[in-house]
Structure 1
Amino acid sequence: MPFSSTSANTVLLRRAADFALSAIQPVTPAMLRRPTPCAEWDLEKLLLHLCDSISALLEGRGDQVVAHPAGAPVPADDPLSACRVRVLRLRRSCERPGKGGPVVVGDLPLDSELLLAAGAVEVAVHAWDVSQACGARLPVPTDLAAALLPACLLIAPEDDRAPLFAEPRPAPPGAGPGDRLVSFLGRPVAGQARRCPR
């Protein structure tokens, strides 16, 4: 199915970008060395990884080719500003129709709707990581998290997650969609940091 600016997954990606903007808003340069829920990454490295992931999404939406899938974070002079700019570009890109058809990632074709869904999960969950690190601790919005949970079963199936995702963690009793989402992707809702479940 070709994607357009009104496809359900484009809307999810836009809402994830909105959440990311809210999560990044309170971050200051003095916070960049803070630990994050990803044990290997401080807040600066997490922001750079988010920049890299968004750049890959923008490539996919624009050129339908992701030549350099997100990988190790690349240093930037001002990672906080770079991340804000990337999120705003992603938000604006969701207001324009995509080109439709498969997106080539590396040398493999990927359904464009799956790319959008995966991107929404990536942006929303890393926005949650940022918010935890800066102390604001914003939850993933309930309606966004509820819509993203089914996509996680395709993106990170429990029997084929490594090395991109950590093992699911048990969600607290009575957990809402936001806590279930981050727990499913290996984040501790409350507790110590661990290996980053990208």
Structure 2
Amino acid sequence: MHIIELDRRAVAESVRVVARVGAGDLDRPTPCAQWTLGDLLAHMTAQHRGFAAAARGTGADPRAWEVLPLGDDPVAAYTAAADDVVAAFAGPGVADARFALPEFSTEVTFRGVRAVGFHFLDYVVHTWDVARSLGVHPALPPELVTAALPIAEAVPDGPGRAQPGAPFAPRLSIVEGATDLDRLLALVGRAP
């Protein structure tokens, strides 16, 4: 399955889980250090907008990545941004386009297929984050988790992951008999 289709499915799963968020849930803690669920949704919404801009050739503009207030209906704001990134990734030539992703590097651009892979990994993990915050079990399709594993394995580990603002925490030990989801979460520093 192509990475753009995998990403579309991961984003659809995230929308399904985010749809369960109520106004009283926004202050809940998340697996993301120091973020409430409202903070996480604002981050996820901004990332969708930034990646959509990158797919359209305008990702170098820092304003595309700004975390903005979600307004009176955070679920609708998130869903609109999710729809936007899916539409942007479905555009012609996206897999081979060059994406400016200033959060990763301001000096190089990334081939579309690789950039979509970054986004895909994030939305498999963030779907789990939101579900965990809500106390529900995400029904992540096994093929999405399996496809995300090699991307997570390729993310460098090291001291940079312990810095404020790092996208992932340092890797955790993977216990014997761990499921693919548990392995994936440990690779990105989440405790299953």
TM-score by length of 2: 0.83
Q: Which has the higher helix share?
A: 2
Q: Which residue of 1 aligns with 2:191?
A: 188
Map 1:154-165 → 2, pairs under 5 A: 154=154, 156-159=155-158, 161-162=160-161, 163=163, 164=166, 165=168
Q: Which residue of 2 aligns with 1:58?
A: 52
After superposing on structure 2, the runs of 4+ consecutive aligned residues of structure 1 that deviate more than 6 Å are 69-72
Q: Which residue of 1 aligns with 2:88?
A: 93
Task: Say whether 1:12 aligns with 2:6.
Answer: yes
Q: Structure 2, unaligned stretches of length 5 or more?
A: none
Does the 8 Å contact 2:19/2:75 carry over to 1? no
- Which of 82, 98, 103 is the aligned partner of 1:102? 98
Q: CA deviation at 1:141?
A: 2.2
TM-score by length of 1: 0.81
Q: Structure 1, unaligned stretches of length 5 or more?
A: 1-6, 190-198
Identity of aligned residues (%): 25
Relative to structure 1, the CA distance from residue 94 to residue 84 in structure 2 (aligned partners, 3 Å threshold; closer, same or farther) is same
Map 1:1-198 → 2, pairs under 5 A: 8-63=2-57, 65-68=59-62, 73-78=67-72, 79-99=74-94, 100-106=96-102, 107=106, 108-154=108-154, 156-159=155-158, 161-162=160-161, 163=163, 164=166, 165-189=168-192
RMSD of aligned alpha carbons:
2.3
2:12 & 2:43 partners in 1: Cα distance?
18
2:191 & 2:63 partners in 1: Cα distance?
26
User: What is the number of residues matched between the two proteins?
Assistant: 182
